[in-house]
Amino acid sequence: MSVSAIWSRGILCATLALAFVIGESNPADAQLQLPRLSVYSKVIQHVGVTEISVEYSSPAKRGRKIFGELVPYGKLWRTGANAATRISFSTDVVVGGNKVKAGTYALYTTPGEKSWTVVLNTNYKTGGTYGYKASNNVASFKATPAQGPDRERLTFLFANTTDNSTHLHLEWAGVAVPMPIKVDTKKNALANIKKSLGNGWRPYFSAARYLKGAGHHYKALKHINTSIAIQTNWWNIWVKAEILAKVGTLGAAIQLAKQSQVLGANNRIYKNFFAKRIAKGIAKWTAALAKKNAAKKDDAKGKK
């Protein structure tokens, strides 16, 4: 073999070796995505102004018997796979009758055939049950398992949600375990109002609308007056009219509603969404006021 051939062959081998090394160290290979045995999952539910979220790794049955075998009865369980399942609350809540502060907690359970123990623990940065200490528990309660969907994977979901409560359900392999959660939405909303009220007209306006809907008419009147004092517009004038009508001051309510019509004449939101509503309000209150005045006249005549 000639010297030039040997030289060419050497260059070719070196080039191939270099390509192999480069290929082995390609960052794309280091980020290879493959299915996980236990998939990361997250579910979020809003209850009133409270956000509740659960983060967990969801294992699959894969033909195995789950409760009583893979997940033993009477033994503390991380309630999922890999790291302990985490549950977070944006406000204070009541879980299974236990008052729990806003924050993030590990959700542990001890499964049983007829009863489960559910525990919330402050040490949520744990792998499985390692580092678990009962002294860090903030809530512990019993839950009764029921027959549920024969789910292949462990699933958390929320059910029966209202403005003040929800149930977190653990469902897997034909078993469903409900965990009741309650929140004080009115208290949380009032706290948000207090924090949000600033110098602008809109926070006071929003607070007044909420309080009106919640039946706190005189508190609502206080906030709408502040809103109007900062900036008078058709919207806050209309809301004040609604509040006055609620407390029976119909004459003043009618006058304010008419003022709102004038102020909103060139406003798109007023024309598209509120013009008919305000007109109906004026007609309704005018009829009610006339009926009220007629009743007073009849009453006065009866006393003569």
Residue 132's pLDDT band (boundaries 50, 70, 90)? very high
Does residue 190 form part of some domain? no
The pTM is what?
0.73
Whether residues 178 and 230 fall in one domain: no
What is the pLDDT at residue 14? Answer: 46
| Cβ atoms within 10 Å, residue 44 | 11
Task: Determine the Cα–Cα distance for residues 60 and 69; give it in Å rounded to an integer.
Answer: 14
Domain, as residue range, for 22: 1-33
Determine the average pLDDT of the residues in 9-14: 48
Closest CA to 242 of 192, 269, 277: 277
Does residue 157 form part of some domain? yes
Whether residues 146 and 265 fall in one domain: no
Whether residues 175 and 240 fall in one domain: no
Please say which residue of 120, 148, 183 terminates a domain.
183
Whether residues 210 and 284 fall in one domain: yes
Does residue 192 form part of some domain? no
Residue 181 burial by Cβ neighbours in a 10 Å radius (0-12, 13-18, 19+): buried
Determine the average pLDDT of the residues in 252-261: 98
Whether the per-residue pLDDT at 27 is higher than 60: the answer is no
Whether residues 168 and 287 fall in one domain: no
Does residue 261 form part of some domain? yes
100, 90 Cβ separation under 8 angstroms: no
Could you tell me what percent of the chain has a pLDDT over 70?
Answer: 89
Determine the average pLDDT of the residues in 100-123: 98
Please say which residue of 183, 207, 239 terminates a domain.
183
Q: How many domains does the chain have?
A: 3
Output Rg (C-alpha) for the chain, integer angstroms: 33
What is the longest distance spanned by two Cα atoms in the chain? 138
Whether residues 174 and 204 fall in one domain: no
